[in-house]
Amino acid sequence: MDQSFGLWIKRRRKALDLTQRELADKVGCSHSLIIKIELDERRPSRQVAELLATHLDVPPEQRELFLKVARQERSVERLAALPLIYGPEPLAPAKTSQVAQTHGRLSNLPIPLGHLIGREHELQAIIQQIQEPTCRLLTLTGPGGVGKTRLALEAAHQLDGEFEHGASFISLAGTSTPAFLIPAIADGLGLTFSGAADLKAQLFNFLREKQVLLVLDNLEHLLDGIELLGELLVTAPEVKLLTTSREQLSLQAEWTFEVRGFPIPTQVEPQDLATNSAAIFFIQRASQTTQGFTLQPEDLPAFMRICQLVEGLPLGLELAATWVRVMSVQDIASEIEHSIDFLTTTARDVPTRHRSLRAVFDHSWRLLSQEERCVMQDLSVFRGGFTREAADRVAHASLLLLSALVSKSLVRYSQDRRFDLHDLIHQYAGMLLEADPRAAGEALERHSVYYLELLRACDPILRSGRQKDALLELTAEIDNLRLAWDTAIENKRCERLQRAAFPYWYFHNLRDSLSEGEDAFERAARGARAELARIEAEQGTCAAMLVQSILGEMLSHQAQFTFRQGRIAAAAELYRESLERLRLQPDPAAMAQALTYTGVVQWIAGEFDQAWNYLKESMALLDECHHEWLQTQCRTFMGMVAHAQ
């Protein structure tokens, strides 16, 4: 089968620039139904299929074929007769490639919101380099804001059909350490890890036979673990990598391409505006702010000065263009020049490539209200984007404020209804927040409260028929969840950790992120142990009973991840201490879970009678607290032990 029905629907929807929720609203069905249709978990009813045909612009003469395929009365292969559309101008050349029609494609490329401006030469050079047989790894280097990501994405769209398994885009901007590089790549590819096998081995085995272009975006902060990419290229000989980074990766297989800003004009006449890349870009962005904007002849000297001050960087021009609402082009150039004399600065701790953007950011910051400044600083605590609700709870950002910041190009809004900050703006706002330790601490605390509460809210959904929905929602927030968990550990919020412990444990189990789960709970246990010692020293043993129970639960969750990775003896010792702690001030559910898995460890060790006793004690507790999910799990293991006996 060339493609699935769900994949065709997904590509058609994206080609029409519709989100899943927007398509659901048009069709009049639930958001989850569209998700399930695109995942091929459900086929639409006749009525829903007719509405899909209408809102996906299926031509009238082909609608009956579409309906028959939707209702499985015709094979999915017949969808080849219904070409995908990409609006008035295709993002990629219309190529007919046998390679592009094969099964198992990994393509997930985002659809850019606008056309690429003034980069034809660079784009062609990048494509030609990737097409070279000897080039397996091409890194686009250059300062932040120069347009590396946009160029890489456009190149990937044009190369997608030349790879048997397509091109896949993986953003690493929210990946905090090299330790999470493998899970981030796997998430981008839709790969779910299984069992206790080494994660790198699972990823490499998945890609071993694939012919795919992987676009790895924003690698500069992950260079300590970058040798992984060299190993991948050896293991998977048909994989090619297109990466973006502010500095070279320094790998043997690496080819580099320096991305520079738009050419800085030395002279611009009115007749040159239609062909000058920087002018076209500036006018387009300014027109989004002020309808009908154009550069007048008297504006041209000031415009050239702006290009010089921001060194032709697209982000600098974009931010400058937002100011045309409030001042003339001449005033913009004057204000940028006045704020910081970055061209002559001798400060050694300010990278040269940041000096022009620093001027842009400083002036942009002064144009914000005090409330907007506080919101921008607080938004910098997010990792990997955020939702509207999260912005409100963590940064006190109303929808009106968010909208204003989006219009000023300081916050971005994506098709999946998430917000984020450009990396350089994120760093700039974060630097200002860190200058006020009290404000930074309060923002991180609100962030931790929100995301650990989100875990609690998703707990019952994770254990229901809507598990996949909750898993998708939490996976999108993985970097925020990691930060929230670490903040609670650092701030000794033991009770908050305890309330989120079970869903966080189950979340990592569902993802098979065993080593990460073990590490998260080992650190939580270490923090609880230190807090326990402090309380016992200051207030006595009785006051420390609650923390004893919390420590016991953290050890129990840590032990289960240790056990699943095959370290049975170490897990047994952790469970032994866990039960000792939990018996001092029992939490029935936590105690029962520790007993259940202690029984499992004994069963695996061949101690069937001991296993039965632990499981029997667990079931007695669960009968008291009526935790049906844990009861079902315990009964399952009791059946296995009984069978073994």
**Residue 405: which pLDDT band, with cuts at 50, 70 and 90?**
confident
**Residue 541: which pLDDT band, with cuts at 50, 70 and 90?**
confident
3-state secondary structure 412-477: EECCCCCEECCHHHHHHHHHHHHCCHHHHHHHHHHHHHHHHHHHHHHHHHHCCCCHHHHHHHHHHC
The answer to whether 276 touches 266, Cβ cutoff 8 Å, is no
The CB density around residue 602, as the number of other CB atoms within 10 Å, is 22
Residue 247 has pLDDT above 70, yes or no: yes
Q: What are phi and psi of 74, to 5 degrees?
A: -135, 155
* Nearest of 205, 156, 152, 211 to residue 182 by alpha carbon: 205
CA distances from 494 to 28, 254, 487, 508, 583 (A): 45, 46, 11, 20, 18
Contacts 24+ apart (CB under 8 A), 495-500: 495/546, 495/550, 496/448, 496/449, 496/452, 497/452, 497/524, 497/527, 497/528, 497/550, 497/554, 498/549, 498/550, 498/553, 498/554, 499/452, 499/456, 500/452, 500/453, 500/455, 500/456
Q: Which helix (H) or strand (E) covers residue 300, if one does? A: helix 300-309
Encode pLDDT of 261-308 as tens digits: 888 777 778 777 777 888 888 888 888 878 888 888 898 888 888 887
pLDDT, mean over the chain: 84
Interatomic CA distance for residues 366 and 6, integer angstroms: 48
Q: Which of 22-31, 288-297, 426-435 has the lowest mean pLDDT?
A: 22-31
Encode pLDDT of 72-89 as tens digits: 777 776 666 555 543 333
Interatomic CA distance for residues 15 and 22, integer angstroms: 13
Strand partners, 167: 213
Interatomic CA distance for residues 477 and 387, integer angstroms: 9
Q: Which of 166-180, 382-396, 549-563 has the lowest mean pLDDT?
A: 166-180
**Residue 359: which pLDDT band, with cuts at 50, 70 and 90?**
low
Strand partners, 256: 139
Interatomic CA distance for residues 153 and 151, integer angstroms: 5
Interatomic CA distance for residues 372 and 316, integer angstroms: 20
**Residue 642: which pLDDT band, with cuts at 50, 70 and 90?**
very high
Task: Note if the pTM is more than 0.85.
Answer: no
**Residue 107: which pLDDT band, with cuts at 50, 70 and 90?**
confident
Return the pLDDT at 551: 94
Percent of the chain residues past pLDDT 90, beyond the cut: 45
DSSP state of 95: -
Centroid of chain to Cα 419: 11
Return the pLDDT at 3: 62
Interatomic CA distance for residues 358 and 351, integer angstroms: 10
